Amino acid sequence: MARDQLESADGRAAAALRALDKEELVRIALDDAKNWLAHDGLWFQAVERAHGMDAAIEADRAAWERFTVIEATRILERLGLEPGGGIPALLRCLEHRLYARLNVQEAIEVTATRAVFVMRDCRVQSARRRKGLPAFPCKSVGLVEYAEFARAVDPRLRTRCLACPPDEHPDDAWCSWEFTLAG
């Protein structure tokens, strides 16, 4: 498809969204996030059925390594931010991730050079718990996802996992991540 046709399609979509009221836009944003997460889960399950859990996790990690940078870059652009904004920019961008609309998350212990990001309720993990399934072992994916997201926001940011399944985690959080601003 030619660039002008894509821009025209984007323009039509934007015009249709502008015609909607705020409540309908909120419903669409939440529904889109749920659809994205459902697709992500179904994709993972299909790879797991065909090739096993280890292969599915490896494929998931490879996908997140690229997607998280795309997501961070688009969020920066949407917010009018340039890479290099440190901890404040990272925390602002984390609030705009697709799953931020579905999960309960917060930043604690925030300073100019450090923040701890905590996922209080994860929609994926909560669903698994309701179904009587063990926690999804997402740490290896999260290590790539959060590090690459943070680095896309500011290359000086470093990421450390504090807790994430399959590791033990506190009852009030599924995972937590420390971000620090290097020299």
Biggest CA pair distance of the chain: 52
- Domain assignment present for residue 61? The answer is yes
pLDDT of residue 12: 86
Range of the domain at 116: 54-181
% of the chain surpassing 90 pLDDT: 80
- Domain assignment present for residue 4? The answer is no
- Domain assignment present for residue 2? The answer is no
Environment class of 71 (CB within 10 Å of its CB; exposed 0-12, middle 13-18, buried 19+) = buried
pLDDT of residue 13: 84
161-172 average pLDDT score:
94
pLDDT of residue 2: 58
The DSSP element (H or E) to which 92 belongs, if any, is helix 86-94
pLDDT of residue 6: 45
- Domain assignment present for residue 43? The answer is no
- Domain assignment present for residue 143? The answer is yes
CA count, 13 A, side-chain hemisphere, 144: 15
pLDDT of residue 3: 56
| Whether the bond into 166 is cis, omega within 30 of 0 | yes
**Rounded mean pLDDT of the chain?**
92
87-115 average pLDDT score:
96
What are phi and psi for residue 53, nearest 5 degrees?
Answer: -60, -45
- Domain assignment present for residue 120? The answer is yes
- Domain assignment present for residue 158? The answer is yes
Helix (H, G, I), strand (E, B) or coil at 166: coil
Distance in Å from the first CA to the final CA of the chain: 45
CATH of the domain at 98: 3.30.1380
pTM above 0.85, yes or no: yes
What's the structural domain count of the chain? 1
User: Is 70 exceeded by the pLDDT of residue 61?
Assistant: yes
- Domain assignment present for residue 12? The answer is no
